Chain A
Amino acid sequence: MTTPASQPAQKIVKIPRTLIVDIALTASGALQPYSLQVPSDMDFEWWWLAAFRTSNANGGVKVLIAETGVGNRNFIIAGSPQQTLAFQGILIDNLAGLVSSNAAFPIAVPYVMPASRIYQHQFTELSGAPNTVQLAYHGFGLLAVSADASSSQAS
């Protein structure tokens, strides 16, 4: 494909980047919200998810994640209830583990999260005590640079 003369050729440079969800949950609180906004400077390509929680008693924490802006696309989809269990999401230990425990979860098909888009999280605390939770989205910022700039950087 040729590039129109009026438009400088662009290429994408991947910048290592991690987006963090950091929330202190109140004991036994249901569906506590947290909004993660992708920085506006560039799109983010999501490769790994890692998690931390201070307690996993009674399952620790349940998590729901939804992408706003595209009809609130849910990443976590609940099964039909044979029982009267609330749809509060995946246990955090099923979603991902600590990097230090060799248990970060690979997003097998890396997902591009557009710049400035908001990802809505909801946490349900199960342990009965305050719980500090972090989710780390590891991946790359996708920086668009002109081909000329990148070649002069390389030389």
Chain B
Amino acid sequence: MGIRLLGTAQNPYVGMLPRFPQKACFIHGQSSIPGFEGGSPAWCYADYTIAGSDTLDNTIPLPNGFTLLALLGSSSQAAGFKVQIYDTDDQVNLLFLPGLNGAVMATGGGALWLRHPFPFVQDEPQCLVRVANLATVQAFVQIVLFGVVGGAPE
């Protein structure tokens, strides 16, 4: 496991895209993340309708060759949610503690961009995503994993 993390390609956006990528220096015409050229974008998502103060698990199947680049999510209730994301194939938590959505992810423009791309190297990879509703009333929550398929690091 440690070996794979050490071998992870460095995202050239490190230090450039901490949270609000469109405010950062994004130079049109420059080459994309080295080693991922030719990959296609993919948004993998799960929907949750959760009762007040309840918790729900869901599985997000990922395409083979998927590399995670960013996390997005939203709740219909302002109180938000906590989220825990677990890579079931490698048996590793991508978030070591349940994170508040305000600290971890937001909608489109406020996506959390990972400091390093996270490749899923197993066949038929998937994530287990646990969401805890922080509102006392029913909430509709959506979690999105954005990444690239193919264009694997050389």
A→B interface (CB under 8 Å) = 14, 46-47, 51, 58-59, 67, 73-83, 85, 89-91, 93-97, 101-111, 140
What chain A residues lie within 8 Å of B143 (beta carbons)?
79
Is the CB–CB distance between A104 and B109 below 8 Å? yes
Give B94 Cβ to nearest chain A Cβ, in Å: 15
Q: Which residues of chain B (63-91) have a CB below 8 Å from chain A?
A: 63, 69-70, 72-74, 76
Contact of A94 among B28, B32, B107 (CB under 8 A): B107
Is the CB–CB distance between B109 and A94 below 8 Å? no
What chain A residues lie within 8 Å of B56 (beta carbons)?
82-83
Knowing A47-B28, A83-B49 are in contact, say whether A95-B108 is a contact too (CB < 8 A): yes
8 chain-A/chain-B pairs, Cβ below 8 angstroms: A76-B43, A76-B44, A77-B61, A78-B44, A81-B58, A93-B108, A102-B22, A105-B111
Give B146 Cβ to nearest chain A Cβ, in Å: 8
Knowing A79-B47, A109-B151 are in contact, say whether A94-B62 is a contact too (CB < 8 A): no
Contact of A104 among B22, B32, B41 (CB under 8 A): B22
What chain A residues lie within 8 Å of B74 (beta carbons)?
59, 91, 93-94
What chain B residues lie within 8 Å of A91 (beta carbons)?
74, 107, 142
- A77-B42, A79-B61, A90-B43 are known; give 8 further A-B pairs, CB within 8 A: A58-B140, A79-B59, A79-B60, A80-B58, A82-B58, A101-B109, A108-B113, A111-B41
What chain A residues lie within 8 Å of B45 (beta carbons)?
76-79, 89-90, 94
Give A78 Cβ to nearest chain B Cβ, in Å: 6
Knowing A14-B29, A78-B45, A79-B45 are in contact, say whether A108-B13 is a contact too (CB < 8 A): yes
Give A28 Cβ to nearest chain B Cβ, in Å: 16
What chain A residues lie within 8 Å of B142 (beta carbons)?
59, 90-91, 94
Knowing A109-B33, A109-B37 are in contact, say whether A96-B108 is a contact too (CB < 8 A): yes
Determine if B99 is an interface residue (Cβ-Cβ < 8 Å).
Answer: no
What chain B residues lie within 8 Å of A80 (beta carbons)?
46, 58-61
Determine if B134 is an interface residue (Cβ-Cβ < 8 Å).
Answer: no
Is the CB–CB distance between A108 and B69 below 8 Å? yes
What chain B residues lie within 8 Å of A93 (beta carbons)?
74, 107-108
